[in-house]
Structure 1
Amino acid sequence: MTGTMEGRRVVYTGGAGGLGTGTTLAMLAEGAEVHVLDRDAAKGAALLAEVPQDAQDRVFVHDVDLLDRAALTACLDGLVAEKAIDVVINNAALYPSKPFEDFTDAELDAVHRVNVEAAATCTRAALPGMRAQGWGRVLNVTSITLSGQWENLVPYVQSKGALLGLTRAWAREFGKWGVTVNAISPGAFPTDAEKIHPDPEGYNAMVLDRQAVKRRGTPQDIAATVMFLASDAAGFITGQSLAVNGGWVME
């Protein structure tokens, strides 16, 4: 351990399971204190089972439904009352798939509330502490789907576009306080989200065909990107979107 995140407090939505566990473990290995906000109890328990004994006192899984703004606010208020939050990773997302005309208003609203409004709530809660100490990192997880190559994901793509806009607007507004804001745009990683595809083998072959790098992405690929953007080394990088997609889409 090099301790590049020694003493940093991190709030990570959706930080258990999928791509989250690998990043959480990487941050713990570098000395961070990580507060995972995830309503999936099984994934939370699985994450905790992977945490080394010497890091058990630096990881906390909070059972919070991001659709419940009052519960989310209460959780965040409790955290910032203890100490400043240094890093916010807005990662949690709903990923429903069907034709646009089949979505109800309630379903559209739920995607926006989890994918966008919860990110704004977490960032707003952490900002005063970041501003006071003159240092902070906000990382928004967007998506390769913003390239326009997918059907039946309208509310999801819409929400990721909103996050990209927030990345740039927040970066402009927060930079004077030493707070950087960047987006990470993952490609097609093998997670539970892929289970919506009816032909997994065909989908896997399609992904590899379109990527320049002929392997599937791993949680470690995302973790390395997060660790860099959350570090002091990335202090002059803000308002950017970093694609981590094996060269599928090149910006």
Structure 2
Amino acid sequence: MAGVQDMQGKVVLYTGAAGGLGLQTTLQLMGRGATVVAVDNDPAKVAALQDAATSVTTGRLVVSIADLSDLEGFRAELKARLGEVGGFDVVINNAAVYPSKPFEDYSIEEHQAVQRINVDAGVVAVQEALPGMRERAFGRIINISSITISGEWANLSPYVASKGALIGLTRAWAREFGAYGITVNAIAPGAFPTDAEAIHPDPEGYVRHVLDSQAVKRRGHVGDIAHAVAFFAAEEAGFITGQTLHVNGGWVMG
């Protein structure tokens, strides 16, 4: 098992780092010795992350407030952070928006707005990180997809399309970047009790449905995702690329 300092000296760029699945992962990566550049734009969540980070005695937290819908502004913010930290060894594309309504009720502008945050911001992040990764002959890119790509969920078509696009980019980038010592993988979380569940009109019924659907009869917890991210980020995972890891309690298998 990797030691607590196995990411000492590594710099992680993590979008959506203060959210429901992000905070615990940020703390775990810091606990392994990493500097985490935590990108988020929710002041309350950022404050909670900063407070929680005070209990971690290793690693370093660098907060980056950015609106990912403003791609050029986000690029400028990343360039500034690169000047501060020297390069990104790991990129975790996690930030996402998830509006919910029938397909025919979305305007094309609404559809494009979801892709802009969920996909295009990730493209910008990788574009900015890639030159340094190539120079160092090391990089880990982790795209956070979703169980919704299995097709069971209605009224989320722009979100599902964006998460499917991340799977495609995972495979395309893995092929292109592998020669430079860079791996690219995706994680598809299942149903986790985060703010995203607020879109369900019957929360108790939804929880029953989740447990009935999973092979493992408990709710997922944020540590399940944190461990998966830490696994893909590790140097020891250097022969695994282009893969999607489903962390869903056996709801969807394959």
Whether these two folds match at TM > 0.5 is yes
Partner of 1:63: 65
Matched residues in 2 for 1:13 and 1:214: separation?
30
The counterpart of 1:139, out of the listed 132, 137, 142, is: 142
Q: % of aligned pairs identical? A: 58
Counterpart-to-counterpart distance in 2, 1:243 and 1:54 = 28
Relative to the length of structure 2, the TM-score reads 0.96
TM-align CA RMSD: 1.2
Provide the aligned length of Structure 1 versus Structure 2: 251
Question: Residues 25 and 57 of structure 1: is their aligned pair in 2 closer, same or farther, counting only changes over 3 Å?
Answer: closer
> Amino acid of the residue matched to residue 75 of structure 1?
E
Change (3 A) 1:212 1:68: same
Q: Partner amino acid for 2:16? A: G
CA distance in 1, matches of 2:187, 2:55: 30
Give the equivalent residue in structure 2 for 1:76.
78
TM-score normalised by length of structure 1: 0.98
Q: 2:178 aligns with which of 172, 175, 178?
A: 175
**Which of the residues 115, 119, 132 maps onto 1:116?**
119
Over 3 Å counting, the alpha-carbon distance change for 1:72 and 1:56 in structure 2 is: farther
CA shift in 2, pair 1:242/1:102, >3 Å: same
- 2:13 maps to 11
Specify every segment of 5 or more residues in structure 1 that has no aligned partner in the other structure, as ranges.
none
In 2: Cα distance, 1:58 partner to 1:209 partner = 40
Alpha-carbon separation, structure 2, partners of 1:95 and 1:52 = 31
User: Contact conserved, 1:80 with 1:129, CA < 8 A, in 2?
Assistant: no
Deviations 1:154-192 (A, max 9, x none): 000000111100000000000000000000000000000
1:57, CA displacement in angstroms? 7.3
**Distance between the aligned counterparts of 2:209 and 2:33, measured in 1?**
39
| Alpha carbons of structure 1 residues 40 and 56: separation in structure 2 relative to 1, 3 Å | farther
Mapped partners of 2:4, 2:252: distance in 1: 33
Report the Cα distance in structure 1 between the residues aligned to 2:120 and 2:22, rounded to whole angstroms. Answer: 20
Q: What is the CA-CA distance between 1:71 and the residue it aligns to?
A: 1.4
Taking the TM superposition and a 5 Å limit, the aligned residue runs for 1:191-202 are 191-202=194-205
Displaced runs of 4 or more, over 4 A: 53-57
Give the 3-state SS of the residue equivalent to 1:80 in structure 2. helix
User: What displacement does 1:17 show?
Assistant: 2.4
